[in-house]
Chain A
Amino acid sequence: MHTSPPIFDSAFLSKLEQLSLLSRKLFRGEHHAERKSRQTGSSLEFADFRNYTSGDDLRAVDWNIYGRLDRLVVKLFEQEQDLQIDFLIDASPSMRWQAPKARSGTSPPSKLDAACRIAASLAYIGLANLDRVNLHWFGDALRADMGLSRGKSQFHKVLDFLRTPPPPEGDTRFTASMRTFAQRLKRRGLVFILSDLLDPAGYQEALDLLRHSQFEIHVIHVLDPGELRPDLSGDLRLIEVETQAALEVTAHDPLLRRYEQEVDRFLEEAAQFCMKRGIGYVRALNSVPFEELVLRVLREGRMLQ
Chain B
Amino acid sequence: MTFLAPWAAWFLAGIPLIVLLYLLKLKREPVKVSTLIFWQRILQENRRRALFQRLRNLLSLLLQLLIFLLILGALAKPTLGHWISSGSSTVIILDTRARMQALESGAETRFEKARRWARSTARQATAKTPIALITAGASDAVAVPFSSEEKSMNEVLDRLEPGDAEGELKSAVELAHTLLAARRGQHRIILVTDAPQPALSRAYPDLKVLSVGTPQDNAAITRLATRPLLNSVQTSEVLIEIRNFGKAPIRGTLELSLDGRLLDAKPFELGAGERKLDLFPAVPGNALRNSRGWLKAQLDVADALALDNVAYALLPQPHPHRVLLVSKGNWFLEKLLAADPRVAFDLLTPEAFELSMASKFDAVILDQVLPDTFRMGATAGNFFFLKNTPFNQSQPNLERPLITETQSEHPALLLVNLQNITIARATPLKLPEATSDGWTFETPIRAMDHPLLITGTRKTSTGDQRLAALAFDPAESDLPLHIAFPLLMANTVHWLSGEQPVIPLAIRAGQTLALGPEQRLWPEPLTSSQKPLPPPGGPWVKAFFQPHKQGYYLISQPGQKPAWLAVNTFSESESDLRSAAPAEPAAAILPTGFSLKSVADRPLWQGLALAALLLSTLEWWLFHRRRTE
- A residues touching B (Cβ–Cβ < 8 Å)? 94, 97, 100, 111, 196, 198, 200, 224, 227, 230, 232, 234-242, 245-250, 252, 254-255, 258-259, 262-263, 266
Q: In angstroms, how far is the closest chain B Cβ from the Cβ of A109?
A: 14
Q: How many A-B residue pairs have CB under 8 A?
A: 75
- B residues touching A (Cβ–Cβ < 8 Å)? 26-43, 627-628
Known contacts A249-B43, A252-B627, A254-B628; A266/B38 CB under 8 A: yes
In contact, B38 and A240 (Cβ under 8 angstroms): no
Q: In angstroms, how far is the closest chain B Cβ from the Cβ of A127?
A: 31
In contact, A238 and B34 (Cβ under 8 angstroms): no
Q: Which residue of B lies closest to A238 (CB)?
A: B33
Residues of A within 8 A of B34 (CB): 94, 97, 111, 196, 198, 224, 227, 240-241
In contact, B32 and A97 (Cβ under 8 angstroms): yes
Pick the residue among A94, A234, A246 that contacts B35 (CB under 8 A).
A94
Residues of B within 8 A of A245 (CB): 36
Residues of B within 8 A of A249 (CB): 39, 43
Q: In angstroms, how far is the closest chain B Cβ from the Cβ of A171?
A: 10
Complex-state Cα separation, A276 to B32, whole angstroms: 34
In contact, A238 and B627 (Cβ under 8 angstroms): no
In contact, A227 and B33 (Cβ under 8 angstroms): yes
Complex-state Cα separation, A223 to B481, whole angstroms: 140
In contact, A237 and B29 (Cβ under 8 angstroms): yes
Residues of A within 8 A of B33 (CB): 97, 227, 230, 238-241
Pairs across A and B, CB under 8 Å, 24 listed: A94-B35, A97-B33, A100-B31, A111-B34, A198-B37, A200-B37, A234-B29, A235-B26, A236-B28, A236-B30, A236-B31, A237-B28, A237-B31, A238-B31, A238-B33, A238-B39, A239-B32, A240-B35, A246-B30, A249-B39, A259-B38, A259-B42, A263-B38, A266-B37
Pick the residue among A97, A196, A259, A266 that contacts B39 (CB under 8 A).
A259
Residues of B within 8 A of A198 (CB): 34-35, 37
Given contact pairs A232-B31, A246-B30, A266-B37, enumerate 17 new A-B contacts (beta carbons under 8 Å): A94-B35, A97-B34, A111-B34, A235-B28, A236-B29, A238-B32, A238-B33, A238-B39, A239-B32, A239-B33, A240-B32, A240-B34, A241-B32, A241-B33, A249-B39, A258-B42, A262-B41
Residues of A within 8 A of B41 (CB): 262
Residues of A within 8 A of B30 (CB): 236-237, 239, 246
Q: In angstroms, how far is the closest chain B Cβ from the Cβ of A204?
A: 14
Q: Which residue of A lies closest to B41 (CB)?
A: A262
Residues of B within 8 A of A259 (CB): 38-39, 42
Q: In angstroms, how far is the closest chain A Cβ from the Cβ of B57?
A: 13
Residues of B within 8 A of A230 (CB): 33
Complex-state Cα separation, A66 to B326, whole angstroms: 191
In contact, A250 and B35 (Cβ under 8 angstroms): no
Residues of A within 8 A of B28 (CB): 235-237, 248
Complex-state Cα separation, A100 to B628, whole angstroms: 23
Q: Which one of B26, B33, B39, B42 has the greatest number of beta carbons of chain A within 10 Å?
A: B33
Complex-state Cα separation, A248 to B29, whole angstroms: 9
In contact, B36 and A238 (Cβ under 8 angstroms): yes
Q: In angstroms, how far is the closest chain B Cβ from the Cβ of A228?
A: 10
In contact, A252 and B32 (Cβ under 8 angstroms): no
Complex-state Cα separation, A254 to B36, whole angstroms: 18
Known contacts A198-B35, A227-B34, A242-B35; A262/B42 CB under 8 A: yes
Residues of B within 8 A of A258 (CB): 42
Residues of A within 8 A of B38 (CB): 259, 262-263, 266
In contact, B39 and A250 (Cβ under 8 angstroms): no
